[in-house]
Chains A and B, each alone.
Chain A
Amino acid sequence: SYFIFFSFQQRIEIHKLRQGDNLILGFSIGGGIDQDPAQNPFSEDKTDKGIYVTRVTEGGPAEVAGLQIGDKIMQVNGWDMTMVTHDQARKRLTKRNEEVVRLLVTRQSLQKAVQQSMMS
């Protein structure tokens, strides 16, 4: 048997939680075209300057919606996130007038596969 490393896209809908004056999603992001991609522990390609989920608050709206640490955020409510600065990314997620954010993320998965024997 051997491992297959592949990635797939996932749509995540997060309903923000109101905490006082703020709407929070319950995760942290890293990355951005103005950041150093070599420091990203989650990316396959160390020149990838995309936005990655670096932390997910336990029991928070993001975890409930199915977001996972290491997910790469491709879009937020239709806005592209693959070519944004860190601050732009943060802003796209924290718009005051949006209670729901729909993310398109890419997730990598490790699967164990059983090699079909060609002989038998």
Chain B
Amino acid sequence: MEVAGRGQRLQMQEKLRILEDLNMLYIRQIAISLQDTEIQRKMERELRLREGACKLLAACSRREQALEAAKSLLVCNSRVLAYMAELQRRKEAQVLRRTARRPSDAGPTDERLPCRGTVCISDLRIPLMWKDTEYFRNKGELHRCAVFCLLQLGAEIHDTPMVLVDRTLTDICFESAVLFSEAGPDFELKVELYSAGLAGGSAQGSTPRKLATRLSTSLGRSSGKRVRAAMDGAPGSPPGNGGTSPLLLPAPSVPGPKFHLLAHAVLSLAEVQDGFRTHDLAIASNEESSFWLPLYGSMCCRLAAQPRCMAAPVTSGFLRLQQPGAEAQSGARLYCVLRGTDLLCYHDPGEAEAGLEPALTIAVNKETRIRAAEREGRGQPHGMAVTNRYGGEEVTHTLLAESRAEAQRWMEAFWQHFYDMSQWKQCCDELMRIEVPPPRRPPAMLPRQGSLYHEMAIDPSDDIEAVTDILTQRAGGRVPGTPPWLSLFEEPPLHATPSGRATSPSPPARRPWGRPRTLSLDAKLSTLKGRGARRAAPPQHPLPHGSSSSSSGSSSPAMEHDHPGPLQSQV
């Protein structure tokens, strides 16, 4: 009975609210005991954002708003989970430290820790493989998805802007760089590609279930079990899946688009390189899903890392360079800075700050050997012998510190530096270039991505009805009325493509395959009509579609097509 069902749902929601309050209480207790308010503040902020996103999702009518809200929801949920996991991890570490103080558990009390570094991932590109005989969903509609990536390192989660993908796109590109500033050499950078199908509303996705499973495993075991038991047998809960804990999740009745995990990859230090590399993607869905896209199975990106020991000075101070065989105090007094793969020696600190060339540069890398040089005798300061191999020769520089404490400080710095280099490996061969990305613009409307409609340069004086008719015919003869894609555009008259195109003399970034360039509307419309009619017969070879617009223009290409041989392009 409807009334009974609704009553049960309300009861369930009440229980969920109580459990959520208990959950937050538990989290707050952990934060207090750790004396860590920062993560708690971040979490409460994400929860507030999540509330806002839920409300917006329920209230908004426009497709693009709903997509942005659904994306925000997913990002907020992921961040909350990450913060909770981080809090629990820190709590565990604290407890372990306390219990390990017993002598029987003694390990080295001051374990050497590697320095932190900045990890930068940029120029993400995920190629798609549209086949010429590929499926069309729902009576020939163009299959579209909205996608974005979540990038997670530790408790830090960044999201990329959202991109609309359809058959005319050959790659999903996220070019802007994302930085993580507190990574250790054992970092794991998780890249997750989320997708939401746009052909009509998708059914209740698996996202709440997946998040619920993750969430219930991050709670205490007993409360997780109780929650799961509470949800089993509730109306509307999907059968066969015990992990339906909906704590901290929106009420199941929120309508609108939902994002699902499409693919993911995990990158670590081994994948870091100052250049582009290809990585495998683990694909999490199949052709049946509404949010599926034909991924090629790989991902290209540039993953760079700058450990602190390379990017910033490790230590600095005065050392005396001893001439071989001379008196101890006779050498030049130099201001030395240890950074990256060198010990830079200046005449004075002013020179170092001014960024001038150092008077002497001594290499400090994996092949360098350093040993403490202790000299017997009264008042003899301690020093270090730094030995490198240049060409076939061994060259040793002896550096004397001004006091024993200074000498110890330098030796410790060198040991730490060598340890850091051994941990960060290839990142310490040379400093990798990392550009700080400009601050992200707030997400406005969905950016217009490559689609057939952008090729049409439509004069405002043209009859919009005629265009709409032809396009709906092409889409397979749907009922005349507003086609779904129109809702994605704000302004009533279809604009010409982005401004640069109308005025620049260079040819458009994308063209229909094999046809001469033309901006005439008539030519375009007859092309579309022709295409619509030829829908039944599949083309003979895969049509290479233009890729998404690149930032720099390309010179006019001469595309030749040797029938029946393979496609060649002259450059």
A interface residues, Cβ below 8 angstroms from B: 21-25, 27-36, 39-40, 54-55, 75, 78-80, 82-91, 93-97
Bound: A67/B553 CA distance, A: 25
Q: Which chain B residue shows the least CB distance to A89?
A: B569
Q: Which of B470-478, B487-495, B538-546 contacts A (4 or more CB under 8 A)?
A: B538-546
24 intermolecular pairs with C-beta atoms under 8 Å apart: A21-B556, A27-B570, A29-B569, A30-B566, A30-B569, A32-B567, A33-B127, A34-B542, A34-B545, A35-B542, A35-B544, A36-B541, A39-B565, A54-B566, A80-B300, A85-B170, A86-B544, A86-B567, A87-B544, A89-B569, A90-B557, A91-B550, A94-B571, A95-B553
Instruction: Tell me which residues across on chain B come within 8 A of A36, comparing CB atoms.
Output: 541-542, 566
* Contact (Cβ within 8 A) A24 B571: yes
* Contact (Cβ within 8 A) B127 A29: no
Bound: A90/B550 CA distance, A: 12
B547 interfacial by beta-carbon distance below 8 Å: yes
* Contact (Cβ within 8 A) A35 B547: no
Bound: A28/B544 CA distance, A: 17
**New contact pairs (6) apart from A90-B571, A94-B571, CB-CB < 8 Å:** A34-B544, A39-B565, A54-B566, A83-B278, A87-B545, A95-B552
* Contact (Cβ within 8 A) A80 B277: yes
Instruction: Tell me which residues across on chain A come within 8 A of B217, comparing CB atoms.
Output: none
Distance to closest chain A CB from B167 (angstroms): 12
* Contact (Cβ within 8 A) B566 A87: no
Bound: A16/B455 CA distance, A: 30
B482 interfacial by beta-carbon distance below 8 Å: no
Distance to closest chain A CB from B196 (angstroms): 25
Distance to closest chain A CB from B100 (angstroms): 47
B interface residues, Cβ below 8 angstroms from A: 127, 129-130, 170-171, 275-278, 296, 298, 300, 506, 541-542, 544-547, 550, 552-557, 559-560, 565-571
Whether A33 contacts B296 in the complex (CB less than 8 A), given A79-B276, A85-B127, comes out as yes
* Contact (Cβ within 8 A) A83 B541: no
Distance to closest chain B CB from A62 (angstroms): 9
Q: Which chain A residue shows the least CB distance to B129?
A: A33
* Contact (Cβ within 8 A) B557 A88: no
Distance to closest chain A CB from B534 (angstroms): 20
* Contact (Cβ within 8 A) A23 B555: yes
* Contact (Cβ within 8 A) A90 B569: yes
Bound: A3/B544 CA distance, A: 38
Q: Which chain A residue shows the least CB distance to B513?
A: A87
6 nearest A-B pairs in the assembled complex, by CB-CB distance: A39-B566, A80-B276, A93-B571, A90-B569, A85-B170, A34-B544
Distance to closest chain B CB from A58 (angstroms): 14
Distance to closest chain A CB from B125 (angstroms): 8
* Contact (Cβ within 8 A) B550 A87: no
Q: Of A23, A35, A78, A97, which contacts B566 at CB under 8 A?
A: A35
Instruction: Tell me which residues across on chain A come within 8 A of B547, comparing CB atoms.
Output: 85, 87-88, 91
Q: Which chain A residue shows the least CB distance to B541?
A: A36
Q: Of B275, B300, B544, B566, which contacts A85 at CB under 8 A?
A: B544
* Contact (Cβ within 8 A) B568 A54: yes
Instruction: Tell me which residues across on chain A come within 8 A of B170, comparing CB atoms.
Output: 34, 85, 87-88
Bound: A34/B569 CA distance, A: 14
